[in-house]
Amino acid sequence: MDELEQVEGELLLSGETAGEEVTESTRQFFVSKKAAALLKHEILQGYVKPFVAKVGRWAPGGRVVYLDGYAGPGRYADGTPGSPALILDSAAEIADIRKLDCYFVERRREDFKSLKALTIEAKSRGLAAEALSGKVEKHLAYVLKQAEGSPLLAFIDPFGLGLSFEALTEQLFGSRQPAGSTGRDATEVLLNFNSNAVRRIGGLLTSPKERPGKQATLKAMDDACGGDWWRSEFRKSSDNSEAVERIANGFALRVGDAVRSHSWTLPVRNRSHHQPAYHLVLFSRHRDGLWLFGEAISHAQTEWRREILKSSTEGTLFDDDSLFEEEEKQKKSEWISEIKENIVDLLRQHKSFTVDRYHSEIMGSVLGEARQMHIRAAVKELHREGKTGCDGKGDIPDMRITRP
Ligand SMILES: C[S@@+](CC[C@H](N)C(=O)[O-])C[C@H]1O[C@@H](n2cnc3c(N)ncnc32)[C@H](O)[C@@H]1O
């Protein structure tokens, strides 16, 4: 069983609500990093800097606020950076042009101590960082107050269920200017929607046993999802993976509708044949945020594949690097072929269109894997083949693809 599943297992068997109960196996999470955590961190790293550079341009003093609501100790036991250490490094890298004001919240005392030490060290490097001890729910109002007038990015990364739907939509998003205002009011949330929690808690629905804490756990899931709609989704799914997809996507849509935001949902696995450990969901009210996220997840998945390949060839005579390069080359050419086919299909239906308008149709099944450079390569090939009048030069989202 993987670590996160163990964590969830203990959570529910302990008869607690589906909130986060710290157990010995929860601790194991911070001993060394698994592939799913690697992907999450690559995304965070790849996203935060360009996001801050972009939205900070219109913010007073170039200041952007970052909240890590479930921060953990900051670093893994082996010294590998956790999300707080990674973000502080990003803050240092862009300190010349932007001020990233970081707030880290951690409930567990031992982890808070390490986190606090990390922020003290960061402050000595001239960075703005504050560690807050206790539950994120307790500190949310304070952090939102600090974020008034500045763009805000919140990372919500619990082991189990996180903020309630109400806290997320009404308190966090609700305290911010609505969509359509300037970059300085940007509000983005990157959220870990825990698929293990969905499987475990959903399993309680279909189990005839009345375990202690069962009703409270189901109620906690209702609170996280904004109602009991997920129960019927779970029951009508043919298996757990369908249930998890339906519920993660249903959650993203409901939050998006409530706060007038777009969302992008990405399943995150420890191995390609595993069920997702969680879904990362980005809520963004601006198209640029989604484009930046698309770039970040594409790069991050390349690193994830590299890591997976490395662990699968460990102890063998395979040359990881050349195998990896070979596989990536193959993938890239498959992606470009698919994008080309999709564009040709779209050109049959429309005389011309912008990439932004038909982004998901252009990407088709490679959405989230391929990125802008692959769209450009596809358009250039089509141009050479005389299938479009567009030469593939210029900004990708605004690029207009025309019939020849
Ligand atoms: C998945 S870990 C965080 C990992 C971290 N974001 C990273 O990427 O390195 C979740 C953390 O949230 C903490 N936690 C649990 N419930 C919390 C709450 N209500 N408020 C703040 N922290 C909480 C746990 O103690 C645990 O350290």
pLDDT tens track for 274-309: 899 999 999 999 999 999 999 999 999 999 999 988
Per-residue pLDDT reduced to its tens digit, 239-266: 999 999 999 999 999 999 999 999 999 9
Is 258 close to ligand 1, i.e. is its CB under 6 Å away? no
- Number of neighbouring beta carbons within 10 Å of residue 58: 13
Pocket test for ligand 1, best of 17, 87, 107, 171 (most atoms within 8 A of CB): 107
Cα–Cα distance, 219 to 356 (Å, whole number): 40
Per-residue pLDDT reduced to its tens digit, 130-162: 999 999 999 999 999 999 999 999 999 999 999
Cα–Cα distance, 187 to 353 (Å, whole number): 29
Lowest mean pLDDT among 121-125, 267-271, 353-357, 380-384: 267-271
Tokens of 233: 């989704």
pLDDT attached to residue 278: 92
Phi-psi region of 149 (alpha: psi -120 to 50; beta: other; left: phi over 0): left
Burial class (CB in 10 A: 0-12, 13-18, 19+), 273: exposed
pLDDT attached to residue 182: 67
pLDDT band at residue 198 under the 50/70/90 scheme: very high
- Number of neighbouring beta carbons within 10 Å of residue 322: 9
pTM for this entry? 0.91
Atom 19 of ligand 1, residue of closest alpha carbon: 135
Atom of ligand 1 nearest to the CA of 40: 8
Is 107 close to ligand 1, i.e. is its CB under 6 Å away? yes
Q: How far is CA 197 from CA 160, 221, 224, 282, 284, in A?
A: 6, 9, 11, 19, 24
pLDDT attached to residue 177: 81
66 near 87, Cβ under 8 Å? yes
CA 26 / ligand 1 centre spacing (Å): 10
User: Which residue is it, tokens 């991050």?
Assistant: 300
Pairing status of strand 278-284 against strand 262-268: antiparallel
pLDDT band at residue 211 under the 50/70/90 scheme: confident
What are the start-end ranges of the H helices in 190-239? 195-206, 214-225, 229-236
pLDDT attached to residue 319: 76
Is 104 close to ligand 1, i.e. is its CB under 6 Å away? no
Share of the chain above pLDDT 70, in %: 91
Give strand pairing partners of 188: 153
CA 275 / ligand 1 centre spacing (Å): 22
Atom 9 of ligand 1, residue of closest alpha carbon: 82
Atom 26 of ligand 1, residue of closest alpha carbon: 72
Domains annotated on the chain, with CATH:
3-285 (3.40.50.150), 308-402 (1.10.10)
Cα–Cα distance, 199 to 195 (Å, whole number): 6
pLDDT attached to residue 29: 61
CA 218 / ligand 1 centre spacing (Å): 21
